[in-house]
Copies of this chain bind each other. A is one copy, B any other.
């Protein structure tokens, strides 16, 4: 089943249709564990004999909504895996190869910036030209009073463009729908969402973005550009677990075969995307840092900064090129998107009060937007569930509704004479001015049409324009604001690439300007600046960013003197918003069921030990260093675990040898590297058959491996494949403290060691994974914790 943009599960994994998967899995697990028994015998810790009898209740799902389909997701291996093969790989690297690796990292960061810059420029070029021509023709129809033709024309073109975007998304790359930022956030947190960063996703995202933005839908190209940057990074570094992806298998890329390096490059990609979207190099770096990335190092700060610098150079070159008029309708402009640097900012103490009001209302509006959008997304999820046709119909309906509103509403606005105020330059016959004549007589302009018959970027530029207090009428602004509130809610969930930034900026700027008009007699700051502050407030109220948003707005508007009040507004709006509901990205992550690990520890986590948590899970399934093939196959078939402790029981003691990953076990079975008897192999034996590259390969499943009866009776030496140094915690550690370790170091599996050690005591009490440490899952297993705040 292919799918679209909209998440369809309720926050609780027990609702929505994905629960079917979850319940099935839980049942399988229960069945698998239910009929077990037997005393603990450390010498024969077979799968059928769990070490201790337990009543497992902590169920953790390995499924999440990807696109609109429930898919199996996996965690990424950000931990340094110290198994013999990888260790040998490092040690055998010559200093030349180390230099090659460093050079490669920087080259890739450069390429990410370069390609993102070029693609962003091309997308801008395409959108400006398509939308420009569309609006030019429309203006002619209206001028000639051919209103019906105009309507049919506008609707038809918009529907066609939407159709292109939506059908590409629905048929080829369901994961290209939506902004993609939540999935990138999850990837950098350690969750691999399948098919998220493939070549087809990239292609559909580019074309779909052009289509949907040109179609006049209320969505931006900013989110998609972030996703595009990350896709480029992932493709260059071969990240993600793609099946539909044209892998570049180059020898020089073989050092780039671990998830950590890919993570760094995808961070560069995300920064480059934001930079390309807002022409904001520092803002891009900070956005990645504050909103997207989970781990951060100074070295990475520097590399992302390099990428965004490259993007800026590319954008600047492109703008210089277009300024000579060779880019069709692509506007002549500088690096600054919404320049308001010509406004003198001076304010008094009573202005601060009004600005605080902008912040408070912005926070309220932002959280209200989050709340309603949440409901709409759930509803859309139910619709999109019905199949491709439903998704297409939904997208086209939204497009139709948008076209009707955009076309019809300006007729409600009265005409304003151009000579009424000195500030307004009336449209020239070429129609290149910002003010649209529309249905008005010559020498007049229609203020609402000026906002609606423009690309979204131009609309924002109009509202931000300064020294124009009487340019827009209260009524027109009210209509505009109401329209974009509705459109912002109904558009986001449809099956096209769509960003959230611009809709919120549009809404926010209208809100700011409305407030300025309403309080006209009390304010001393320019109305255009109020629009900027309104946009910042709504962004902060919905997305809850601070420093990065501040810098992005600084780089968008080029007015440094505005910075202190922008900071003020952002802090207030975020505080108000945070006290009401989570940020929009958190809501989407939650809707999709992506197991994102938050940094914050709930207070009750201090009252629960990891041993108690492990006791609520099925017993640990462990392997021995030299294990029978039959048992490995059985373990892989009957459990969903992705890591197995390797424990040996030499005379009178126990050895914690390490942890072996499912993917490595499958790789061994696939290569059929079996031994006739139970013995430890020599180092050279394994190196004859395996390289570290073989182990780094992803996406091979057990089903692709056929093993004969005879082979089942043979043995595998797991020594060379076992990560001998998994991170461990003592069983008495609180969940809060273990979570710090898990998140800070970027783990996939955390082993719990017992307090008491000795003969016959297993050196492993349990294993915790990302799902086990999520507050939501823990509370499902330990409901009493949620109620009592403190013992």
Contact = CB atoms under 8 A, between A and B. Distances in A.
A550 B282 contact: yes
Nearest to A648: B756
B91 A547 contact: no
Contacts of A656: 730, 755, 757
B755 A297 contact: no
Interface stretch (A381-389, A405-413, A456-464, A737-745): A737-745
Interface string A727-760: 1111011101100110011000000010111110
Interface string A70-103: 0000000000101000010011111100100000
Interface stretch (A246-254, A502-510, A558-566, A588-596): A558-566
A313 B302 CA distance: 31
Contact of A309 (B289, B567, B758): B567
Interface stretch (A2-10, A439-447, A599-607): A599-607
A726 B730 contact: yes
Interface centre among A82, A92, A744, A758 (most CB of B within 10 A): A758
Contact of A652 (B298, B308, B555, B759): B759
Contact of A745 (B546, B603, B655, B740): B740
Given A551-B551, A737-B82, A758 B653 contact: yes
Q: Specify how many copies of this chain sit in the oligomer.
A: 2
Contacts of A650: 756
A657 B755 contact: yes
Contacts of A574: 302
A546 B755 CA distance: 46
B733 A301 contact: no
Nearest to A557: B560
A73 B728 CA distance: 30
A789 B725 contact: no
A790 interface: yes
A753 B729 contact: no
A503 B458 CA distance: 46
A653 B606 contact: no
Contacts of A791: 91
Contacts of A564: 281, 309, 312-313, 316, 335
B725 A737 contact: yes
A727 B751 CA distance: 12
A57 to B, nearest CB: 24
A763 interface: yes
A657 B755 CA distance: 7
A690 interface: no
Interface in A741-791: 741, 744-745, 753, 755-759, 761, 763, 789-791
Contacts of A376: none
Contacts of A296: 296
A753 B658 CA distance: 13
Interface string A570-612: 0100100000000000000000000000011001001100000
A299 B600 contact: yes
A551 B652 contact: no
Contacts of A547: 282, 285-286, 301-302, 305
A569 to B, nearest CB: 10
A567 B729 contact: no
A757 B755 contact: no
Contacts of A305: 546-547, 550, 567, 571
A92 B550 CA distance: 40
A356 interface: no
B546 A301 contact: yes
A424 B414 CA distance: 54
Nearest to A724: B732
A644 to B, nearest CB: 16
Contacts of A536: none
A433 interface: no
B755 A758 contact: no
Contact of A757 (B92, B281, B653, B658): B653
Contacts of A755: 655-657, 724
B733 A82 contact: yes
Nearest to A285: B547
Given A654-B758, A757-B656, A791-B91, A567 B606 contact: no
Interface in A171-187: none
A759 B761 CA distance: 10
A724 to B, nearest CB: 5
A299 B600 CA distance: 9
Interface string A524-561: 00000000000000000000001100110011001011
A790 B92 contact: yes
A378 to B, nearest CB: 27
A119 interface: no
Interface in A273-289: 281-282, 285-286, 289
Contact of A730 (B80, B554, B728): B728
A225 to B, nearest CB: 19
Contact of A94 (B336, B657, B757, B790): B790
Given A93-B790, A309-B571, A655-B757, 16 more contacts: A82-B732, A95-B789, A282-B554, A282-B563, A302-B547, A305-B567, A309-B564, A312-B563, A313-B564, A551-B551, A555-B560, A555-B563, A653-B759, A653-B761, A725-B729, A758-B759
24 contacts: A80-B737, A80-B740, A82-B732, A91-B606, A91-B791, A94-B790, A281-B567, A286-B286, A286-B547, A301-B546, A305-B546, A305-B547, A305-B571, A312-B564, A336-B560, A336-B561, A341-B341, A551-B551, A655-B757, A724-B730, A724-B755, A725-B730, A725-B733, A758-B758
